[in-house]
Structure formats: structure tokens, C-alpha cells
Structure 1
Amino acid sequence: MTARTLARALLGRRARLRWVHLVLGGALLMPFWLVAALVVLPVAGGGNAFLGSSVAAQFGAYAVALPLAWVAGLFPLVRPLSVGMARALCGVDGARFADGPARGGAARRRTAGWFTLHVGVGGILSGMLLALPPFAVSVMLLPFAPGLRDWLRLPASLDTAWALALAPFAGLAMLLLLALCATAAGALLARCAPVLLGPTPADRLAAAEQRAAELAVRNRLARELHDSVGHALSAVSLQASAARRVLDSDPAFVREALAAIEDTTRRTVGELDAVLGLLREGDTAAKAPAPTLADDLPGLLDRTRATGTAVTAQTGVDAAALPVLVSREAYRIVQEGLGNALRHAPGSPVDLRIAVSGDEVEIVLENPLSPGSPAASEGSGPGARPGSLTGSPAGSRSGGGHGLAGIADRARLLGGSASAGPCGGPGEAGWRLAVRLPLTPSGGGTR
């Protein structure tokens, strides 16, 4: 090891930061030491409460202060403070530390152990930093200041020419020893910090739950955007295409199509702003409520019919009487089902049925398929039946989108079920989407 490497290890930036960390530990020990000194020093027979007491009494107060520090370390907020100091000063990767207050007895005990170790080692080293440098400098000056010999009360055996000649080297050795002790103590704390302040199983579980909650919010926002924007774009595309074809021959139809496009885009921009508002940090503006069956089912059907698609609706349910959560998710399911019909079977009639069956709401959408579509060929057998959307290949539709998966997620979160797939016999290939939602949602549907 070269002199430069040794100097960097003892006095480099990392070493200096660790020295500061140790001195902070010594400062944190002082209140506990003072409380212990009020009890220990008088019992030990020290003349003065703090100054002039024996070394044994000083270490006795230190020994009593450590259990007091351990008790203080049990408080949950000690961990964030300790982690903050360790991250900034110990030179350890911050990702190895736990975040937040200590959860559970194991985390509190580990934090208390770290706090005791930090203040204990820091207290010893702080005492050495206060006492040893002045003494070492005094020893180095012995050959040049005879008065220091009496002040230090050196034994006669050390008051020789050889001893005085070696005194400067002895002083330098003391300072080097102090640097080595500080470096070793800093390295010890850096090694123990991730072990005692790292995440416990409870912390990892809480972090996993937090990530799952964030992912659920992201998935919900993705579904909202997919359903509202996807349906609007499909409707607008068909309306614009139909208007283009009859631009010269049927101006009245073109005006109706443009009005429908304007209405659809205006509503979609409002829904898009409401969804994106959830992503704006600190956004306290009032958010537009999510549409429900009771609010906008007739409007949704009218906008779909404006594309030239014939929609037959049988709604044997009082939408206003449905729970808001069920009504909201049912609206999005119907919206996505109609959007699928517009994308995959444009111009084909759609049959929508919404009814209450027992304690469930049943939603069924059916539409014929184009003769050449892959889904049409799948449904060419008399035994063709819709498949569950929980992972069955029958739950996928030509085009590879995520709408059916979103429908399945909505139904599952409410404790319901969903299925989709080809239906009908030869020559009558169609697509059927069937969803059942409980009137009393269960599971994770309270988003």
C-alpha cells in the first residue's frame, strides 16, 4: 500500500464523512451520558458532578448511558433519522436501507441495536478526538518545551535524551493510531448499517403492497383511457368515413356526422382530462365524475348509432337504482363492447341486453362477424361457445388489443365474471360478450 493510498484511506473524503458520522454519534450520546452521570458519578464518589471525577466513574456513566440509548432507539422515528445520516455519511448504497419508521418489534430492536452501536462507538471515538490530539502534540513538543515535562508529570525514566528525541515520533504515532481507529470504526459502522437498518420482511411486504397498489392505479388509468379514447376514436373514424363517402350527395347526413364527431370528441376530451388529472401531482381541481349507466347510457347508444351501426338495446334494469360502482364499471364494459363491435365488425348490427338476474347484473352484447375474419372461422361449428376471459384463448379477438382483458379485470375486481368468444352456427358466425356483475361488489372493487 503506497503512502498516497494510505493517506486517502485515512483522510480521504469517505473517511472524513465517516469521522463526521462518528462525531455525531458521540454528540447523540451526550444527553444519555449526562443523565447517567447524575446517578453514577455521585455514587462513585467523584468530587465534582462532571469535571474532576475518576476515569472509572466516567466509564461507569458510559456503561449506564448505552442501555438508555437502546431504549430511545425503540421509537419508530429513530430509524428514518439514522438512515438519513447513514446514507449521507457512511458511503453505503442508499438502496440497501429501509425507508420509513420501523414497523414491528424486529425492526425496532434492530434499529435500537444500530443506534446503541452508533452512539457507543461514536462516544468512544469522540473522547479520543478530544483528548488524544492535544496530548500527542504536547509529546511532540517535549524536546523544545521543558516546561511541558513537569505539566505532563513524566516519570524520570522518560526524562532522558533518547526518550526526548523519540517524543516527536511517538506523538505522530499517536495521531496515526487515532486515524486508524477512526477509519476502522467508520468501516465497522458502514458494514453494520445495511444489516441493522436494512428492510425487514415486514418492510419488504409493505413495499410490495405499495408497488401493487401503484400498479393497480396505473392499470385502472390505462383501462379508463383505453375504453373512453378507444371507443371515441372508433366512432369518429366511422363517422368521418361515412361523411366522406356521401360528402357531395347527402349534405344533411354530413352535417349530422360532423355534429356527432364534435359531440364525441368534446366528451372524450373531458374524460381524458379527468383521467390525466389523477396523474397530476398536487392537482386539487375538481375532477369530472366517471360516467355511469344512469348518466350516459342513452348518449353512448346514440353516439354509436351515429356511426351508422344499428344498436338494439334491451335494458330491463333501473340504472339509477344500481350501486354507483357497479353502474360505473358496467358503463365502461358496455362502452368497450360497443367499441370492439365498431372496430372488428363495422356496420354490423349490435344487440345489447342488460338485465338483473337474482343478485347480479347481466350484460350481453352480440354482433355478427365479417365472413372472412379469424373469429368468424372459429365460430363455424355448432358447438362453438364463448370462452372465459381469465386466460382462455377463446377470450382473444382478432386485433390483439387489451380491451377484453380490461373487461375481465373490471368484472373480477367486483367479484363477477366475463366471457367472450364466437357464437352461432355455420353461416351465422357472431361474437358474444357476456358479463355478470354482483349488485354487492366484493374483492378489490372499492377503487
Structure 2
Amino acid sequence: MRRFGPLLFGRRTRRRWIHLILGGALAMPYVFVGSIASGPLLDETTLFGSFSSQLLAFALGLPLAAVTALFPLTRPMSVAAVRALCAVPDEALADGPPRTRRERGRTAAWFTLHLGCGGIISGMTLALVPFAFFLIALPVFVGLQDSWLGLPGALRRPWTLVAAPVAGAASLLGLAGCVAASGALLAGAAPRLLGPTPADRLAAAEQRAADLAVRNRLARELHDSVGHALSAVTLQASAARRVLDHDPEFVREALAAIEDTTRRTVSELDAVLGVLREGDQRASTAPAPTLAADLDGLLRRTRAGGLRVRAAVELGPGGADALPPLVSREAYRIVQEALSNALRHAGPGTAVTLRITRDASGLDLVAENPLPPAAVAAAAPARPGGGHGLRGVADRARLLGGTTASGPAGGVWRLRVRLPLEPPA
């Protein structure tokens, strides 16, 4: 009894019972329309005549329900009801209206099944519950046995009065069993009829991939712009503090570089965060820094932080302005990350060699800086959460169809990136 009690009368069964009653309520307009046709077929003058007329009206109403289930909003409303009342996992059900003929057919089959089972259970509930309580109360309330009720003689016999409560309880148990079975049938059929198709799963996977790509792009942009700015500002402020007393001209240059860096970074940060704001179009319209427009400023701000940068730029006819905009933008971020790494790991006063060359098919970026002394490297603790810069450079190059190589070589740290001038689609 402990095992079957929750199965027949538990919270899940009660909620599914409500779902079935809802289906019966939705079936009533279709049954009413069916009864209009069933009366003439059976030569009955009343709207709801015999039991056979009611069954025929119910049978004629279900095809009408299947036709109206082709309405696009039927599936979203059905899915919402199933999620709320049938204890079906959310991921097993599809979202949105059906898009294909097969999905519409499955939705119509579900709607017909729901209304069919709901109509039967609703009818049983309306008929059996009062009758069962009548049988249970029959031997208790003597007034119910009076002749004015029109009870047949068989119901007044002693053995009938003893068996009536048992029959009433059995009727309620039978109804509960039918409810549990019908609810389980609908819960099992919902994922097959209202669940996502392979096309839905593919669309969901593509949406997740697109969301992940946006998140990764935002992470790269924030790392490259804000991370570089913080590293540069930190080193510029540190260098200015050390020479504050005897080199005020350098201090003025460092403070000007800090002001320029922070102003540009705030603008870039606002553009990146605009992607996260629903309905904000600034992310698509705000200009992104490019190699053509912003390389000189980047080198000037980096040098103001104490890093000695020797830049060799050979871009041929047209210079940086002739580069494709996407390549120019990603090349700027890669150079920015290379200089930022040199600032963080090599320290002020380090000489960095930057070579940017272009040939007929692509753009080569090479950045070299001396490796820090072993004692300094051992004393410098690893930055928590660091190590994402080179991964971001590799991601940018890979998205453009390019290649990267980085590592120590001959006492220097070298980063080499090759970007094609015509990225893949």
C-alpha cells in the first residue's frame, strides 16, 4: 500500500489529473459541435440525448480538435501546460511554434490525445465520484434509502447495503488507477510528440555555439584592451614614480600617456559592453582600433611606459590603409597583446623588436623581447587566472585562417603570427 499510495494519490498524479481535466474542458466546445451533427444521424431531437449520441458527438469532435491544433500557438501552450503539470523535463520539450509539416502533425496528434484522454477522464470523474460517494454513504444515512429516491428494491437488501461501500471505494480506486495510467501515457507521449526534432536540436546547438562564440569574442576583447591598458598604466605610473624627483619631463609624458590610455580604454570597454546590453546598437557602430589608424598611438603609449620598441613596418603600396579591415583590426589586437606580454613579463627598459611585413598573400607579425633573468622569473609569482593572452592570439589567427608560433628561441621570446589577407568565410 505504501508503494501504490503515492502512485495513485501522490502530488504528481494529482497534477496530472488537473492536466487531464483541462483537456476535458478544452474538448467541450468540440463535443458540442459534434453533438449538432450526431443528433440528426441518430434521429434524436435533444442536444445531448442518449449515451450513444454523446459517444458519437465525442468521436466527431476529436477530428475537429486535430484540425484546430494546426494553429501555430497550440504547441507553445501545450508545452507550457505539460511542463507545469506533467513532470516532464524541460529539455525533453521543444520551444516555439512548429516549423515543419511533420512537427505540426505531431502537435495535432498530441492535442487530440490530450483532449481524448482528458474527455474520458473528465466524464469518469463527473460520473464516478458522486456515484461512489453515494454508495459509500448508502448504509450510513438511512434517509437515502427512502422510497422517494426511487431506489430499486435490490439496493435495499442487507447484502447490498454491506457491499455498497466496498463498491464505492473500489470505484474511486479504479478512477485513481485510470487517472494514473492516463497521466503516465500523456507524460510518456509528450517528449515524442512535443519534443525537439533533430532540426530543433541542431538549431539549439548552433545557438549555443553562437552564444559561446560571442562570449569568447567578448573575453578576448576585454583581455586585450583592458588587460593591456591596466598593464601599461601600472608600468607607466611605476616609472613616473621612480623618476619623479629628477625627470619631470618624463613624468609629464607618462601622465599624458596614462590619460590617453584610460580614455581610449573606457571607449573600447563601452563598445564591448554594448554587446551585452539588449537592444544596444553601439557595439556594431563603435569603431574598433585598427593597425592603420591606431598603431602609432599604441607604440607611443607603450614607450611611455618604459618599454623600448623598435618597430619595422613594411606594408608595401598603400600601407596599412590597404589592409582588409578585419585583418587590420585583428592584427592590431595581436600586436597589442604582444607588447602587453613584454610589459608584464620582461619589465621596463626592455627592448622589443616588432616587425610587420606584408607580401602578396598575407601579413606577418613578429615580436621579440629578451627573456627575463632566471632569478627575476623565479621571484615573480604567476598571475592568477593568467595565460589567456597567447590563447587569444591563437584564436584570432585561427578564425582568420592564420597560424601562430610562440616560445623561447636563442635567449629571446618570439611570437610569430601569419594572417592571410583573404580570410575564409
The TM-score, its normalising length taken from structure 1, stands at 0.79
> 1:314 corresponds to which residue?
313
SS of the equivalent of 1:190 reads helix
> 1:276 corresponds to which residue?
273
**Higher mean C-alpha deviation, range 79-88 or range 171-180:** 171-180
Distance 1:22 1:199 in 2: 23
> 1:117 corresponds to which residue?
113
How far 1:158 moved relative to its partner? 5.0
How far 1:122 moved relative to its partner? 0.4
SS of the equivalent of 2:366 reads strand
**Residues 87-166 of structure 1: pairs in structure 2 closer than 5 A:** 87-139=83-135, 140-141=137-138, 144-145=143-144, 146-147=146-147, 149-150=149-150, 154=152, 158=155, 160-164=157-161, 166=163
SS of the equivalent of 1:310 reads strand
Structure 1 letter corresponding to 2:390? L
SS of the equivalent of 2:196 reads coil
How far 1:85 moved relative to its partner? 0.9
Contact 2:138–2:161 under 8 Å retained in 1: no
Distance 2:372 2:188 in 1: 70
Distance 1:318 1:197 in 2: 58
Q: Deviations over 1:268-314 (max 9, x none)?
A: 2332233233234x363745432223432221121112123233242
Distance 1:370 1:136 in 2: 90
Distance 1:177 1:99 in 2: 36
Q: Deviations over 1:341-388 (max 9, x none)?
A: 33343434334444543354x1323324237579xxxxxxxxxxxxxx
Contact 1:305–1:311 under 8 Å retained in 2: no
How far 1:88 moved relative to its partner? 1.2
Unaligned runs of 5+ in 2: 376-384
Structure 2 letter corresponding to 1:366? A
Distance 1:437 1:284 in 2: 32
Distance 2:13 2:369 in 1: 75
Contact 1:73–1:111 under 8 Å retained in 2: yes
Distance 1:369 1:108 in 2: 66
**Are 1:170 and 2:167 matched, yes or no?**
yes
> 1:384 corresponds to which residue?
none
Structure 2 letter corresponding to 1:303? R
**Are 1:260 and 2:257 matched, yes or no?**
yes
**Residues 370-381 of structure 1: pairs in structure 2 closer than 5 A:** 370=371, 372=373
SS of the equivalent of 2:114 reads helix
**Residues 13-32 of structure 1: pairs in structure 2 closer than 5 A:** 13-32=11-30
Distance 2:162 2:393 in 1: 89
The correspondence for 2:395, drawn from 393, 399, 409, is 409
Structure 1 letter corresponding to 2:421? P
How far 1:213 moved relative to its partner? 1.2
SS of the equivalent of 1:216 reads helix
Distance 2:333 2:309 in 1: 20
Structure 2 letter corresponding to 1:407? V
**Higher mean C-alpha deviation, range 344-353 or range 296-305:** 344-353
CA distance 1:176–1:234, change in 2 (3 Å): closer
> 1:442 corresponds to which residue?
424
CA distance 1:366–1:16, change in 2 (3 Å): closer
Contact 1:293–1:331 under 8 Å retained in 2: yes
Distance 2:73 2:85 in 1: 19
Q: Deviations over 1:122-173 (max 9, x none)?
A: 01011122233344455555953434653x7x4x655645435544543444
Q: Deviations over 1:152-201 (max 9, x none)?
A: 7x4x6556454355445434443343333223322332333344333333
Contact 1:98–1:197 under 8 Å retained in 2: yes
Q: Deviations over 1:21-42 (max 9, x none)?
A: 1110112222333333333432
Structure 2 letter corresponding to 1:333? I
CA distance 1:371–1:407, change in 2 (3 Å): closer
**Residues 325-404 of structure 1: pairs in structure 2 closer than 5 A:** 325-346=326-347, 347-360=349-362, 362-370=363-371, 372=373, 401-404=387-390
Contact 1:304–1:311 under 8 Å retained in 2: no
CA distance 1:371–1:303, change in 2 (3 Å): closer
Structure 1 letter corresponding to 2:240? A
CA distance 1:373–1:112, change in 2 (3 Å): farther
Contact 1:239–1:306 under 8 Å retained in 2: yes
> 1:234 corresponds to which residue?
231
Contact 1:73–1:115 under 8 Å retained in 2: yes
Distance 2:240 2:99 in 1: 63
The sequence identity of aligned pairs, in percent, is 59
**Higher mean C-alpha deviation, range 217-226 or range 157-166:** 157-166
> 2:380 corresponds to which residue?
none
The correspondence for 1:293, drawn from 291, 313, 327, is 291
Structure 2 letter corresponding to 1:235? A
> 1:190 corresponds to which residue?
187
SS of the equivalent of 1:365 reads strand
Distance 1:165 1:365 in 2: 98
Contact 2:338–2:415 under 8 Å retained in 1: no
Contact 2:402–2:417 under 8 Å retained in 1: no
CA RMSD of aligned residues (A): 3.2
Structure 1 letter corresponding to 2:337? E
Structure 2 letter corresponding to 1:406? G
SS of the equivalent of 2:287 reads coil
Distance 1:262 1:229 in 2: 14
Contact 1:86–1:193 under 8 Å retained in 2: yes
